[in-house]
A and B are shown apart, each in its own frame.
Chain A
Amino acid sequence: MLDSRSVVSATRIANNAAARGVFFSPREDTPIAILNHAMRPVTLTEDRDSKESLLENILSAAQDNPSEMVSMSNHQEDLNELTDIISDRLLGEVGHLRNVVNPVIQKIKRLIEERRSELSANNPLNLSVYQVIVQPIYGQEQLRSQLANYSGRTTTEPERQRGIESRLLEDVSFENISEMLETPSAGFNGSLQMLLTDIAAGGELPIFKDTPLRGKEMYMQHGTVLTFLFLRALEAGKHPAYKMADLTTEERTYLVRLKAFYGRELEKLLNAIENDLSTWRFFLGVDYDNNTIYVNDVKYRRWLEEKKEQGASMEAVIGTFYRKDTAPDIDMLWDDPSIGVKAYERAEVLHGANVRSMTAKEVERLTEKELIAYFVDTIEEAAERQEKIVMVREYFKNAAGRLYANEDPVTYIAKAVCKLVGAGTDAYLMYTEMKTYLNEEENKDRSVKDAGAYAVVRLLMRWMACQVQKHQRENYRHLTQLVVGQARAE
């Protein structure tokens, strides 16, 4: 039994086709042929403009009439049976795409992304510039004045007494060190807070440790200044647990000598910082293991400002230091930073292309390997498994198995999986229909679920269209009136 909406739409399509001289008939032994045979013959009435003409005749022809023996079978029964068969096949296609093909696509995609991240991390240009701050406390006049007693004195390091040092640290933590070291000067205390915040990021208080006098460590390790301030605070009676009077004479003597030593060391440190800041050279070191170039923040910013017109930039710095095996020409950053920029740009082209090319090859290799692994894991029967493996190898030997520069890797993977894991199904057709649907601007708010439903309908209608043949007729012009009349009847 036919529904009138389908017949009205069908008549419109048939009329449109007839206006072009095209007519349809079912291919033999197809579901549509079965349904056509299950209907009584349709004849046109003489009155071409009648509403009843074609529409009513078709609806009537599909109705079962037991008194007539024209039909060899029941249209409604055939329709129900064919609906079940086609629905099952369609849902089978959807299930296979969802549950078998798609998980393989997703797995390969994930592996490719992981590999791409690795390659990107290995790109020599994958360096960052770390601007090392010069702690303001080193510029505090108050600190300088505290060192006046040690200026120019030759102070040797006393033999270290770790026992007393450890005891003094037992009750000191990030929670109480600030209170212990603070002075009446708000400016000094502000700088002290910045210093302690920086130190806290490192996780431990570097008291009784030394600050190197060169490189990034000179600005990043603060043992010398903190120890000096700590010993001063201890002497002033601000330690949370000990007064100087609680200590033995030997310990007191040791701590006084130690304070003098750190005072002298701190003076040397301040002088080294002052000297360093008086030059333009901002480079402090490079750590290739951590992909980091360290620069002095103050001098780097000054260089960026002063040499902006000549190309001073992060790219110029990376272009100068990215090659591990070549000594960098640091003076060039001052004389002509644009040379560093050009080196960066050349390396970007070279290594960018290498990464893409390697990725393309690896996408092919990984896809092939994963597809073989899939068949090995899922097929128990040896001969069948071998047949699938040969099929995979053949696919990747041919042009279809190559990933071209202008091709989207995800589409490439999906195609290979659909063609191989989804061999014998319409997986690839459905995948491309979904992708096309989701890429259209008008569908930008639609979901993957909507795209899936659309792909199912497209597949269904393709199957339907394959069941009929077209006939082109030359002498169709006399039907124009019929077509127009029929269209009006609708």
Chain B
Amino acid sequence: MNEQELANSAVTVSNMLCLARKVIDKVTPELDVVDKEELVSIAEAELNNELINRGE
């Protein structure tokens, strides 16, 4: 366990959020939703919730 593990952890979460953002960009027109940024904020909050507050 070292700082590198934290860096890798951050890389993993970065890829998750980046992929989520791009997916939201793509599906938003189909969902007929105007406020895309609100969905991105929800995605960030949900990921934080899923990863930190919930068990394995």
Contacts and interface: CB of A to CB of B under 8 A. Distances in A.
- Majority DSSP secondary structure for residues of A touching B: helix
A464 B16 contact: yes
A319 interface: no
Interface string B1-25: 1011111111111111111111110
A288 interface: no
A13 B48 contact: yes
A91 B24 CA distance: 11
A470 B51 contact: yes
Contact of B4 (A14, A43, A79): A43
Given A14-B10, A22-B52, A460 B20 contact: yes
Contact of A36 (B5, B15, B43): B15
Contact of A79 (B22, B32, B43): B22
A24 B51 contact: yes
B13 A94 contact: no
B22 A83 contact: yes
Contacts of B52: 13, 16-17, 20, 22
Contacts of B26: 83-84, 87
Given A457-B42, A464-B19, A7 B14 contact: yes
Nearest to A57: B7
Contact of A13 (B7, B22, B47): B47
Contact of B11 (A31, A42, A482): A42
A10 B10 contact: yes
Interface stretch (A174-182, A302-310, A472-480): A472-480
A86 B23 contact: yes
Contact of A11 (B5, B10, B51): B10
A9 interface: yes
Interface string B26-56: 1110111100000110111011101110101
Nearest to A48: B3
Contact of B27 (A57, A90, A469): A90
A17 to B, nearest CB: 5
Interface stretch (A66-74, A228-236, A445-453): A445-453
Interface of A: 2-3, 5-7, 9-11, 13-18, 20, 22-26, 31-32, 35-36, 39, 42-44, 54, 57-58, 61-62, 79-80, 82-84, 86-87, 90-91, 94, 449-450, 452-454, 456-458, 460-462, 464-465, 467-471, 473, 475-476, 479, 482-483
9 contacts: A2-B14, A36-B15, A44-B6, A54-B6, A54-B7, A461-B46, A462-B46, A462-B50, A468-B16
